[in-house]
Amino acid sequence: MAKKKSVDFTLLLATMLLVFIGIIMVFSSSWPDAIYKMKDGYFYLKKQLMAGLIGLAGMFFFMNFDYKRLDKMSKLIFLITIISGLLIFSPLGVEYNGARRWINLGFTTFMPSDLIKFGSIIFFASFLSKRKEDIKSIKKGLIPSLVVIGISCGLIYIQKALSTTVTLALTLVAMLFIAGMRISHMIVLGIGGTAALYFSIVSHSYRVARYLSFKDPFAYKSEGGYQVVQSLYALGSGGLFGLGLGKSRQKFFYIPEPYNDFIFSIIGEELGFLGCITIILLFVLVIWRGIKIALNVEDLFGCLLSSGIVALITIQTLIHIAVVTSSIPPTGIPLPFISYGGTSLAIYMSAIGILLNISRNTNLSGGEKR
């Protein structure tokens, strides 16, 4: 029996460091909220630890699960993601802060959007790998691909999660580009996507308010720019070395839910510029190893699947950091591996498990392939 190749240890180590740092920062940033809301300062820490253990189990499972079997299961996986997205409109759906994005299973809740993102990537990788000769065709390649993208993104858009919709759309379009779509088609698609984004913003007053607050957050600091202003205060007060772990001031009810959509600002406040750079470098390491895996895997499905996972991590990380630093209009999107959220953490770690399994089928040393 042939001996199994080892996985990409650099990718595994970088991921585990991000998860470890994330658990510490969730604990630090959630303590005041947990005491006030749950009467238990360890509430969010315990939930994140449990999610981390589930994610670890998922990562090790997929690390040893032949990724080529996902190709055969892709239609079933996509069907499950569609059903999970529609379940939010059933009695199991839960509304929070005016948005219906959660499903209550009784013993726990989960966000189907995270499942939709990775289910769509698996299905789209399989879909494109079987149409590599037709990708440049409008009728046989572009239009069917846009239908898949429309279904996937539509399931998230109806949950009033525009930032997540944009993240998934950019990820799937990146996969389509890697599969070989024409540059002219990409330009037209970019123009159409920009127009759709514009109309989705102007059609909702709260999104317009967010855009206006982005242009001058301090002019709207008591309204739409409040979170961004507090985030900038946190990052600015952190300086080079930070105030020290656990010593954030902005987490004391200045930034709403600082352990989620604005956790990077708490990292900047407590660990400083050097802490932020460390986090960014770890993400760069994960992205670099993922790209290397995508470039070296021999089959098209594996290439597109790993490219999709890397693209999603990259895009979501960039959007989170851009929001926290007021580089784009404010929106809510978690930082992969670090922000509080059981569904997100478990699924992202499982996705890394898929990447690690693909790495077993690649030649990452740079030598000749046998």
E strand or H helix at 28: helix 9-33
According to the model, what pLDDT value does residue 369 have? 41
Question: Which stretches of the chain score pLDDT less than 70?
Answer: 1-4, 97-99, 365-370
DSSP-assigned letters across all residues of 260-287:
TTTHHHHHHHHHHHHHHHHHHHHHHHHH
According to the model, what pLDDT value does residue 324 have? 93
Contacts of 169 (CB under 8 A, 6+ apart): 149, 153, 193
Structure confidence by residue, pLDDT tens digits, 38-73? 999 999 999 999 999 999 999 999 999 999 999 999
Torsion angle (degrees, nearest 10) of CA 328, 330, 333, 339: 100
According to the model, what pLDDT value does residue 6 have? 86
* Whole-angstrom distance, CA of residue 152 vs CA of residue 156: 7
According to the model, what pLDDT value does residue 3 have? 58
* Whole-angstrom distance, CA of residue 246 vs CA of residue 190: 43
- Do 62 and 354 touch, CB atoms closer than 8 A? yes
DSSP state of 139: I
According to the model, what pLDDT value does residue 370 have? 35
- Do 214 and 326 touch, CB atoms closer than 8 A? yes
Comparing CA positions, the residue from 143, 197, 128, 144 lying closest to residue 169 is 197
According to the model, what pLDDT value does residue 212 have? 84
Structure tokens, 294:
């995508």
According to the model, what pLDDT value does residue 97 have? 67
